[in-house]
Amino acid sequence: MEPFTEAALALALSAMLSLLAWKLRLLTPSGAGSAFAVGTVIGVFGSLSWLIVLLVFTFIGFAATRYGLGKKKERGLQEGRDGERSHTNVLAVALAPCLVAVLSFLLGMQGTVVASIAFVAAISVAASDTIASEMGVMYPDVWMVTTLEKVPPGTDGGVSVMGTVWAFLGAVVASVVGWAVIYPTDLFSGLVLIPIFAGFLGCFADSFLGATLETKGYINKYSNNFITMLMGSLLAVVIYLAI
């Protein structure tokens, strides 16, 4: 596909789906605008397949957010008023993939395996953390990751058995789907294990930073998301280059 055609498709797809997410009240107006910008950057500087991976993750995240929304609202644990996401939510989970896309373009590494692994790993961290958070708050038994002290659901740095299970499933689904979209003829490559591992570990790093730096006010949850997604990408690259 010609670069101009692919860029035009990325623009059109980003615009349509951002508008749809806004109409469905999944995103606020600022969230929809940010989603359009993010989709354009990833589609143009990364690839159309990368954009599709991001969109799949986005709607999986929306589904997890809407699951049990009534109970989350009763406990004050929902995003926004009705689970909708604003520009801060969008950018928190999109800056790392955008950085990977821009760097892959500037370094002439578009379409390489290492760039794709870095991108899928970032998405895997986001999926693992999002699904663990949205599903984990539904369970009452939560412990602080650093001290194992029992804490209320939704506490920064809190983890649960079922939340951990969901975190692993989130990393697996995001990595397998991402790999299948980018490399549909190589579905059973062992390389997909790299973003699975990086995503799951990145989710625990998010909890650890939440229990330490975030609770002390040094970072917020949005910068935590960016840092851990970037860590997941870097870890995946290191593992790939080491094997």
Q: What distance in Å separates the CA atoms of residue 231 and residue 218, rounded to the nearest whole number?
A: 18
pTM of the model: 0.90
**Closest alpha carbon to 92 in 26, 38, 47, 46:** 38
Structure token pair of residue 21: 């997410």
List C-alpha distances in Å: 29 to 24, 25, 59, 165. Answer: 11, 9, 17, 33
DSSP 158: E
Q: pLDDT (tens digit, 0 to 9) for every residue of the chain, 243 residues total? A: 666 787 888 899 899 889 988 888 888 999 999 999 999 999 999 999 999 999 888 888 878 776 666 665 555 555 555 557 789 989 999 999 999 999 999 999 998 999 999 999 999 999 999 898 888 777 778 999 999 999 988 788 999 999 999 999 999 999 999 999 999 988 788 999 999 999 999 999 999 999 999 999 999 999 999 999 999 999 999 999 998
Q: Looking at this protein, which amino acid is placed at residue 115? A: A
Give exposure, 218-236, as e/b (b: 16+ Cβ within 10 Å). ebebeebbbbbbbbbbbbb
Q: What distance in Å separates the CA atoms of residue 50 and residue 32, rounded to the nearest whole number?
A: 19
Domain coordinates in residue numbering, the chain:
3-242
- 204: CB partners within 8 A, 6+ apart: 145, 159, 167
